[in-house]
Structure 1
């Protein structure tokens, strides 16, 4: 009877020891909670970048110098009024010049100026050359364009061009004046420009079949109906192109 009681006592002791050991087992440290992103403090808004100031507008361009015409009455305003009555023939002539790439050589209102004495002769201030003479117009304009491109005549103003025979007689033109085919009288030139024109005539005028003259008024005549020159006396000896 003594051994069973000792066995129970031993089992009880072992049970108490096991319980004591189980109570001393260390616990794993708890992991601190990760803070939620929703609880992060808000950053202050970034102010928008300041816009760069607009550049100042450029200063206005100076006005173009006023061109003083030798024949201010027969300007583009009078031409516009005249053209309203002669639009069809002017338009056809203008189309021809465009086709020949010559529309920008001389302003149309100058190219169609008739004689300077148009009022005294009761004629039109402007006149379209007959179509039979348009090739002469083309030839003269090609020469004027070449003179401009070479710098011989950097600028020019045509004051008289085609004249019909009646107007030519009334204006005192020579019976065989080349204006009745086509020629131009241009406004007076400075001495240097006039000298350059004469030099061109002497050196290359024959190739161009070029005629040149200066009238007592200072106006310069240019045509392509023969290599020649003359002056106030209508003779070669009076030409200013022979004196340089």
Structure 2
């Protein structure tokens, strides 16, 4: 038992170290990228100020909100880009939901996809009307790498059922622990990007079968 416990602890520590290393690498790359031109640096300063004014400046590191999805690296011209400034405010409702409802139950999160230009969205085979195109959506993963997919579902589904409708928030739960939050309508979907695989429906049915009242 002691050996198994030590092995599990070692894996947890390794996962934590890898997560920290990835974040450090991303941050260092971003700092070089944003400093490469005065226009980028000035735009990022305005972006950070807008987030602070909306009280969402510390939900996730601001630089992550400019990350380019690496789902298909061949589609990504760079690791970061500047979303259209006229659309910056559209990401605020999603950040508010993450701040008020997601982080309190699963802890810190990392952004893996934010704004998508139309050509990029087509290249990675995103939904034609994806909320990412209007900068209303974020794909995220928990920083806690010990959090399993099953536990993620157990934690996120009740939150979405209880607060999603009022906040007009959509939830997608993909393969592994990657999930999607947007502020473009109360709905849900799963790994095939359709309602048929939305794991929260199965969780609610199981709760009802057990004699519970389900999520409300």
TM-score (norm 2): 0.75
Are the counterparts in 2 of residues 211 and 225 from structure 1 also a CA contact under 8 Å? yes
Aligned match of 1:185: 139
Aligned match of 1:175: 128
**Aligned equivalents of 1:212 and 1:154: distance in 2?**
17
In the TM superposition, what whole-angstrom CA distance separates every residue of 1:167-223 from its partner, at most 9, and x where no partner exists?
A: 111111110011111211111653323311111111221111111111224310111
2:202 is equivalent to residue 225 of structure 1: no
How has the CA–CA distance of structure 1 residues 74 and 102 changed in structure 2, closer, same or farther, with 3 Å as cutoff?
A: same
2:166 is equivalent to residue 166 of structure 1: no
Superposition RMSD in Å = 2.2
**Aligned equivalents of 1:96 and 1:163: distance in 2?**
20
How has the CA–CA distance of structure 1 residues 222 and 139 changed in structure 2, closer, same or farther, with 3 Å as cutoff?
A: same
Higher percent of residues as helix: 2
Matches within 5 A, 1:129-148: 129-148=83-102
Aligned match of 1:100: 54
Aligned match of 1:238: 197
How has the CA–CA distance of structure 1 residues 231 and 122 changed in structure 2, closer, same or farther, with 3 Å as cutoff?
A: closer
C-alpha deviation, 1:234, in angstroms:
2.0
Alignment gaps of 5+ in structure 2: 1-15, 204-216
Aligned match of 2:171: 212
Residue-pair matches, total = 179
Are the counterparts in 2 of residues 147 and 153 from structure 1 also a CA contact under 8 Å? no
Alignment gaps of 5+ in structure 1: 1-64
How has the CA–CA distance of structure 1 residues 98 and 72 changed in structure 2, closer, same or farther, with 3 Å as cutoff?
A: closer
User: Which stretches of structure 1, 4 residues or more, deviate above 2 A after TM superposition?
Assistant: 69-74, 188-194
Aligned match of 1:43: none
